[in-house]
Amino acid sequence: MTLKRLAPAIVIGAALIAFFAFGLNRYLSLQALDDNRAHLTAFVDRWDVLAGIAYGAAYAVLVALSVPVGAIATITAGFLFGIVYGTVIVVIGASLGAVAIFLIAKTSVGDLLSRRAGPSIRRMEAGFRENAFNYMLVLRLVPLFPFWLVNLAPAFLGVSLRSYALATVIGIIPGALVYAGVGNGLGAVLDEGGMPDLHIIFEPAILLPIVGLAVLSLVPVVYRRYKRRPKEAAASARGGAVEPGFAKGLSAKLLSLTILFVMIAEVFIYVPSIAKFRRDYLTERLIAAQLATFALEATPDNMVSEALQRKLLATADVRAVIVQRSDSRRLVLAEHMPSSVTADYDLREDGPLTLIVDAFKTLARHGTGVVRVTGLPPAGDGDSIEIIYDEAPLYQAMLTYSTNILTLSIIVSVFTAGLLFMSMHFLFVRPMRQIATNMIRFREAPEDVSRSIKPTDRPDEIGMAIRELNKMQSELRAALQQKTHLANLGIAVSKINHDLRNILASAQLVSDRLAELEDPTVQRLTPTLISAIDRAIDLCQQTLKYGRAEERAPEPKPVAVRDAVEAVAQSLGLNGEGPVRWNDKVSPEFKVRADPDQLYRVLLNLCRNAAQAIGEEGSISVIAFRAIGFDVIEIEDTGPGIPASAREHLFEPFRGSTRADSTGLGLSISRELIRAHGGDITLIRSDETGTVFRITLPRGGA
């Protein structure tokens, strides 16, 4: 960004600072208008059109500088130029100033912010641009949003100049007419020593029609969203994810809840404050009443004329004043005494809760009552002082106070919600939307590495969630690749299975012929050979691999573990005479309840792995014992141990192998078989002294 592009914004900022630094804002008040109205009206009468052009230009400059004096400036225009001419001047001047600050903000920083905005901001920009005129019209019509804020915000949301200017011209006309009308009658109000009500636009008779126009301007937006729903439903039916709009997203919920909670907090502030306001008002009336009695008592005979009495009562804004001293109660001042009073209050005894209830009772009577109030004399003269007064002035004062509190509450809640919304949006909502968007993209193509979310260095929970999501996506991608390999392996096994069965059938015929020979060595080895071939044929027939089928359900029966261990030793050629010593420490009577073939396969796999790990010299030991509720078989070797990298994925297919030429399916299948029995296989120890695997099976052996 060049200094040349920033220059207009810098000039505006410097001019605004200078405006307040030199105290020029003190000339933009109703009091200043009252002090100088003779000179101003004379100037306008003399120069007429030129005065109107000069005022419009000055109004445009004030708007461009974002000086918050729109209401006073518009009232002044109505006072000097009348309703129609004043409204025209205000609309033209305000529109020119708004367009100027819009263009300055858009060209200096708006375009840069738009380019650097994230996807969520871009979506919000797109939604705002789609209905820019309608949204701008609502913002201009509803008098809750500061004029300067509405001037600047669209510059950062990509609103076109045409939509902005047209909505500005149309949207400010109702408010300009209202305040110009107030200004047109300002002379009479100032002559009476009063001041106009700057909150007149919030009166229901004025506000409701303006809000109605704002609602009507949103009808096209609602219609377009309604027409878009079938398309979104069709996209959802096709399996595509439809991102929630702003109204249904976290941002809108956060904004709404913040405004709601601030307003609720303001209610809890308002309830005691309105009670205090009423008490202070009544205390002021008591003070004024006592001062009036002092004026009366200053006369020689404690008598004043009726005219002076009326002035004293009017100054105190009461109908009667009664003073209690010792045992005497004296009516000091009185005029038009009512036959009865609507309510009677004693400020000496009222607690906080009573004051709150009395305040709302006052509001409920709408100023129609005549009330008596008793309190302690503020100056300490007498035991108590009573006043009788009409509630209408108090009701109006309380109504004005309530309106001011409501207006302030709305401004505070919107401002607070805006700040909280922006901070929460960038801290939480935007990252959550990025996570959601990434999850949608990853679901569409999980094998694409570029669709994994990028880890972040954020130390909070969102950063942890992003890092864990990245890890989960990586693991899921690896798992999908592994399952693809397993599926391909299943297809390959099914093809191999057919040919392997034929080969094994031939081997079975040969083994049957060998069994008929009378050679002792052949007679001793043939049963083992036949048993191995039978198991291989059964394995092929059931296709017990990961690819196409699951393992058959086990058929548990009492099995002598010693026999199964000896069969494994024969199959592996471990007879105790080679470099690998075989230590069978299982009792011949020790039995477990298991499927014989599946238990054999598990023991064979574990013992084969142990023999391969030992290499040239070492020992393998098999022991079995009873534990609480379980039968335990342990296979221990004296090999070099399993590397730490393999231990982490020891029982995972294709990942738990310690040798480059192994698939790692053996331990995975073994654990699956034992778990089908209700037991488990665990690695007890693995270090430089050797490795111990433990098989646990539910108790059930004979």
Listed in sequence order, the residues at least 6 apart from 497 whose beta carbon sits closer than 8 Å to its beta carbon are 540, 541, 543
Tokens of 67: 């000086």
Tokens of 190: 């100032």
Phi, psi of 193 (to 5 degrees): 80, 15
Cα angle 527, 531, 536; round to 5: 150
For residue 242, which amino acid is it?
A: V
Which residue ranges make up each domain of the chain? Answer: 3-242, 267-407, 469-550, 555-698
Please name which of 8, 27, 7, 25 lies closest in space to residue 67, comparing C-alpha atoms. 25
Structure confidence at residue 490 (pLDDT): 67
Question: How does pLDDT run across 306-327, given as a tens digit for each residue?
Answer: 777 777 777 777 888 888 777 7
Structure confidence at residue 117 (pLDDT): 47
Structure confidence at residue 562 (pLDDT): 92
Structure confidence at residue 125 (pLDDT): 66
Question: How far apart (Å, rounded) are the C-alpha atoms in residues 75 and 347?
Answer: 42
Structure confidence at residue 594 (pLDDT): 93
Question: How does pLDDT run across 593-629, given as a tens digit for each residue?
Answer: 999 999 998 998 898 888 888 877 889 999 999 988 8
Q: Please report, for residues 521, 562, 567, 570, the alpha-carbon distance to residue 529 in angstroms, rounded to integers and kept in the order given.
A: 12, 19, 11, 10
> Is the pLDDT assigned to residue 381 strictly greater than 70?
no
Q: CATH homologous superfamily for 555-698?
A: Histidine kinase-like ATPase, C-terminal domain (3.30.565.10)
C-beta of residue 67 within 8 angstroms of C-beta of residue 28:
yes
Question: How far apart (Å, rounded) are the C-alpha atoms in residues 319 and 683?
Answer: 98
Structure confidence at residue 644 (pLDDT): 81
Question: How far apart (Å, rounded) are the C-alpha atoms in residues 396 and 389?
Answer: 14
Q: What confidence tier does 446 reach under pLDDT thresholds 50, 70, 90?
A: confident
> Is the pLDDT assigned to residue 692 strictly greater than 90?
yes
Question: How does pLDDT run across 27-42, given as a tens digit for each residue?
Answer: 888 888 888 888 888 8
Please name which of 447, 443, 441 lies closest in space to residue 482, comparing C-alpha atoms. 447
Listed in sequence order, the residues at least 6 apart from 574 whose beta carbon sits closer than 8 Å to its beta carbon are 580, 582, 607, 611, 620
Q: pTM to 2 decimals?
A: 0.38
Which position has the higher pLDDT, 128 or 436?
436
Question: How does pLDDT run across 178-188, given as a tens digit for each residue?
Answer: 888 888 878 77
Phi, psi of 594 (to 5 degrees): -160, 170
Question: How does pLDDT run across 530-548, given as a tens digit for each residue?
Answer: 777 766 666 665 544 444 4
> Is the pLDDT assigned to residue 507 strictly greater than 90?
no
Question: How far apart (Å, rounded) are the C-alpha atoms in residues 44 and 50?
Answer: 8
Question: How does pLDDT run across 570-598, given as a tens digit for each residue?
Answer: 888 886 667 888 888 999 999 999 999 99
Integer-rounded Cα Rg, in Å, for the chain is 46
**HSE of 556, CA atoms in CB hemisphere, 13 A:** 17
Question: How does pLDDT run across 220-229, given as a tens digit for each residue?
Answer: 677 666 665 5
